[in-house]
């Protein structure tokens, strides 16, 4: 181990001032973009170091994620290598995708091809609302719609409580406004497959193909593609995280929380209080939520789903405990020791995989398993 002083002598930079952002993680390697480029022995600037994680960090269970701010030790100028010695406190942390310090999310949908589907859009919006990270809604492929059709969607979504940005990667419509929103921020790109996320990245970052090749050339260790979340560096400043496209995000929220994820319903809740404190707003007496808003139907359907999810979770918890409450035909409760634990576990694990499979299309179970192990779902 180098101590501080020896390192200080051997390098023009002291240990503590090499700080950067992790822009790619693959296998056990971390690509770190340095805040201020280092100079190598030929006075050429080094902007990135390929780093490993110090064993000490592994021992204390400190993970390193894309977006993490890190302190790097022992820079090797020859090979542009280093070791991550410390991870600075995270401001935010997302698990799917695994990204630290994200400041906003860019939700991308297409107005057509694939046709904009209100239910699917609602589901994504609810998921985005539940993360509590601010997000921007972007509708791509505006070139496929007339200006009247575009206006209709804009007005419709305003009633939902959103101000969507209509863009076209093809004709560059709205891209300047979008660039301004992304400037100097870490942004998560999310949305279903086929809406134009990759095309958008290619347009915003012209050298992106070259860059991806450079990184994967060094980092590529086979097939761990699902773990590979990379931050793309925007030319005007800022970072963009591409995510595996998925078409059906898990709702993952409690029935009572759901109503708060609809901005147009939040407005109604501000006007008063429902008679029942546990009101689920589906026709209870003196409920403040009206029934005549477009997404009320979405709300009721998602509510059913949230209730079913909660019941399933409860059932799993019951199975996990060693005793199980049973109800006699007389209505009296009694406890019964739990049987067949292993069988239950196996079933639930398969079920979990099935859910994951729904979430991330196009990915093998094996890859998902690795992903899952990393993220502790
Ligand atoms: N008409 C039109 N097509 C687009 C636009 N942006 C992307 N596409 C096309 O949509 C398809 C899917 O794009 P891609 O970037 O792979 O979507 P991703 O799955 O979200 O990454 C491709 O054939 C693109 O050429 C756009 O603004 N207008
Ligand atoms: Mg893509
Ligand atoms: Zn109510």
| Residue 145 and residue 263 share a domain | no
CATH number of the domain bearing residue 159 = 3.40.50.300
Residues 242 and 297 in one domain: no
Pocket of ligand 1 from Cβ distances under 6 Å: 140-141, 143-144, 168-170, 193-199, 245
Same domain flag for 104 and 184:
yes
Is it the case that residue 166 has pLDDT exceeding 50? yes
Residue 49 and residue 175 in one domain: no
Higher pLDDT, 182 or 373: 182
The two three-digit tokens of residue 93, written as one number: 């942390």
Residues 149 and 274 in one domain: no
* 202 CA closest ligand 1 atom index: 15
User: What's the average model confidence in pLDDT over 173-193?
Assistant: 95
| Residue 223 pLDDT greater than 90, yes or no | no
Tell me the CA–centroid distance for residue 273 and ligand 3, in Å: 8
Q: Which is more confident, 13 or 202? A: 202
Query: d(Cα 214, Cα 351) in Å, to the nearest integer?
Result: 38
Q: State the distance from the centre of ligand 1 to the C-alpha of 170, rounded, in angstroms.
A: 8
φ, ψ at 295 (rounded to 5°): -90, 10
Q: What does the pLDDT read at residue 14?
A: 46
In a domain, 8, yes or no: no
Cα–Cα distances (Å) from 46 to 39, 40, 141, 196, in that order, read 6, 7, 39, 33
Q: Are residues 190 and 163 in the same domain?
A: yes
pLDDT at 330: 65
Q: Which residues pair with 240 in a beta bridge?
A: 187, 232
Ligand 1 test: best mutation among 173, 196, 202, most atoms within 8 Å of CB? Answer: 196
- Give the atom of ligand 1 at the shortest distance from the alpha carbon of 195: 20
pLDDT at 71: 96
Q: What is the pLDDT confidence band of residue 98, given thresholds at 50, 70 and 90?
A: confident
Mean pLDDT value across residues 55-80: 92
Residue 126's domain comprises 99-210+228-246
pLDDT at 336: 63
Residue 239 lies in a domain: yes
Q: What is the pLDDT of residues 123-151, one digit of tens each?
A: 999 999 998 799 999 999 999 999 999 99
Q: Per the structure, how many domains does the chain have?
A: 3
- Angstrom distance (rounded) from CA 37 to CA 44: 9
Residue 324 lies in a domain: no
- pLDDT, residue 333, reads 64
Q: Domain of 36: which CATH number?
A: 2.40.50.140
Average pLDDT for 77-103: 91
Percent of the chain exceeding pLDDT 90 equals 57
CA 127 centroid distance within chain:
10
DSSP code per residue over 2-67: --HHHHHHHSSS-GGG-EEEEEEEETTEEEEEEEEEEE-TTS-EEEEEEEEE-HHHHHTT----BT
Domain check: are 106 and 242 in the same one? yes
Residues 283-320: tens digit of each pLDDT: 999 999 999 999 999 999 999 999 999 999 998 888 77
282 and 167 part of one domain: no
Asked whether residue 12 is domain-assigned, the answer is: no
Q: Is 321 annotated as a binding residue?
A: no
Stronger pLDDT, 26 or 178, i.e. the higher one: 178
pLDDT band of 322, cuts 50, 70, 90 = low
Residue 325 lies in a domain: no
- Predicted confidence band of residue 195 (pLDDT cuts 50, 70, 90): very high
Span 101-106, average pLDDT: 95
% of residues, the chain, pLDDT over 70: 75
The answer on 289 and 165 residing in a single domain is no
Q: Which two tokens stand for residue 1?
A: 């181990």
Least confident of 25-39, 241-255, 328-342: 328-342
Q: Are residues 127 and 188 in the same domain?
A: yes
DSSP assignment string, 258-292: HGGG-HHHHHHHHT---SSTT--SSS-TT-S--S-
The DSSP secondary-structure symbol of 89 reads P
Q: Is the peptide bond before 369 cis (omega within 30 degrees of 0)?
A: no
């Amino acid at each position: 181990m180098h101590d501080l002083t020896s390192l200080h002598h051997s390098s023009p930079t002291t240990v503590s001032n090499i700080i950067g952002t992790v822009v790619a993680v693959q296998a056990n390697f971390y690509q770190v973009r340095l805040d201020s480029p280092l100079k190598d022995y030929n006075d050429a600037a080094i902007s990135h170091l390929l780093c490993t994680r110090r064993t000490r960090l592994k021992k204390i269970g400190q993970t390193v994620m894309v977006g993490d701010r890190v302190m790097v030790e022992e820079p090797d100028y020859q090979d542009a290598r280093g070791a991550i010695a410390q991870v600075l406190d995270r401001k935010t942390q997302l698990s799917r995708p695994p990204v630290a310090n994200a400041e906003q999310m860019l939700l991308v949908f297409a107005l057509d091809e694939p046709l904009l589907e209100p239910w699917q859009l609602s589901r994504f919006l609810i998921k985005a609302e539940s993360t509590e990270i601010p997000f921007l809604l972007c509708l791509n492929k505006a070139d496929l719609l007339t200006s009247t059709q575009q206006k209709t969607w804009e007005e419709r979504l305003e009633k939902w409580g959103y101000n969507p940005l209509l863009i076209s990667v093809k004709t560059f419509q709205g891209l300047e406004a979008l660039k301004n929103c992304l400037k100097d921020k870490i942004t998560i790109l999310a949305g279903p497959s086929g809406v134009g996320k990759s095309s958008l990245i290619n347009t915003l970052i012209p050298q992106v193909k070259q860059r991806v090749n450079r990184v994967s050339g060094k980092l590529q260790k086979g097939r761990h593609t699902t773990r590979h979340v990379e931050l793309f560096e925007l030319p005007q400043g800022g970072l963009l995280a591409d995510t595996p496209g998925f078409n059906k995000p898990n709702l993952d929220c409690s029935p009572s929380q759901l109503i708060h994820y609809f901005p147009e319903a939040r407005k109604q809740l501000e006007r008063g209080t429902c008679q029942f404190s546990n009101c689920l707003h589906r026709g209870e007496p003196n409920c403040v939520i009206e029934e005549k808003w477009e997404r009320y139907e979405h709300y009721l359907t998602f509510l059913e789903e949230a209730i079913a999810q909660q019941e399933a979770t409860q059932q799993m918890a019951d199975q996990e405990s060693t005793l199980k409450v049973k109800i006699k035909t007389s209505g009296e409760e009694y406890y019964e020791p739990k049987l067949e634990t292993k069988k239950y576990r196996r079933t639930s694990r398969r079920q979990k995989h099935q859910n994951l499979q729904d979430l991330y299309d196009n990915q093998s179970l094996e890859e998902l398993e690795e992903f899952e192990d990393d993220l502790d779902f």
